[in-house]
Amino acid sequence: MLETNRLFLIAQLDHMENPKRENRQSVANIVLENPILFKELVAITFEVDTKVSIKAAWVLEWFCTHHHLEWMLPHLDEFSEKISTLKFDSAIRPCAKICEHLATSYHVKTTNEIKENLTPQQIDNIIATGFDWLITPQKIAVRAYTMHTLYLFGLERDWIHPELKHLIETKIIHESKGTKARGKQIINLIEKHLK
C-alpha cells in the first residue's frame, strides 16, 4: 500500500510541467484528500539526486504556505536534518521559505503548535543550514527568506544577530540590488532590536 501511494504521488509530481499555482494546488489537493501522502511528499523532497524532488519541494512549500504548516510537525526532525543535503536551487528556495514560515510561527505572540513543538535541536539545524546558504552561492529568494529566518531565531539567541549582520555587511549587501535591499532591512531590524 505504501509503495502504491508513493508511486501514485511520484506520477502526479512527474505530470507537473512547471511550478504554476494551479499545478502546485492540484497536487496539494490530492494530498489534502489523502493525508497519508504527506509523509511521502516530505520523503521525496529529500531524494536529492532526483529531479522529482524539486517538484515535491514546490508542492511541499505550497502546502505549508496555503494549507497546513502544522502537518510538518511529525516531520520536523527529518526536515531540519535533511535541508542541508538539498542540491538543486529549485528545491532549496521552497525549503528556505518553509524555514521562514516555521521561524515566523515560532515567534508570534500567540501559542501555536509550531511554537510548542519546534525543538532547540531542530532550530539549531535550521540555523546552521541557513548560515551555510548565506555563505554559498544561492538565489536572491533563498537569501531573503534565510536572512529573515535567522533574524527571527536571533531574537532569542544572542550570537546570531552579530554574525548575521557581519555577513550581510561584508558579503550579501554587495551581491545584487535585491539582496542589498533585504540586507539593509534586516540590519535595521537588528539595530532596532538592540535598542
pLDDT of residue 1: 58
Render pLDDT for 45-96 as a digit per residue (tens, 0 to 9): 999 999 999 999 999 999 999 999 999 999 999 999 999 999 999 999 999 9
**CA 51 to CA 17: how far, in whole Å?**
12
CB 88 within 8 A of CB 42: no
Once rounded to an integer, what is the mean pLDDT over residues 29-55? 94
pLDDT over 70 at 166, yes or no: yes
Once rounded to an integer, what is the mean pLDDT over residues 147-174? 95
pLDDT of residue 2: 64
pLDDT of residue 103: 98
pLDDT of residue 3: 76
**CA 106 to CA 87: how far, in whole Å?**
27
Least Cα distance to 73 among 48, 98, 44, 108 occurs for: 98
Render pLDDT for 115-156 as a digit per residue (tens, 0 to 9): 999 999 999 999 999 999 999 999 999 999 999 999 999 999
User: Which pLDDT band, with edges at 50, 70 and 90, does 18 fall under?
Assistant: confident
pLDDT over 90 at 33, yes or no: yes
Residue linked to cell 534586516: 186
**CA 94 to CA 100: how far, in whole Å?**
10
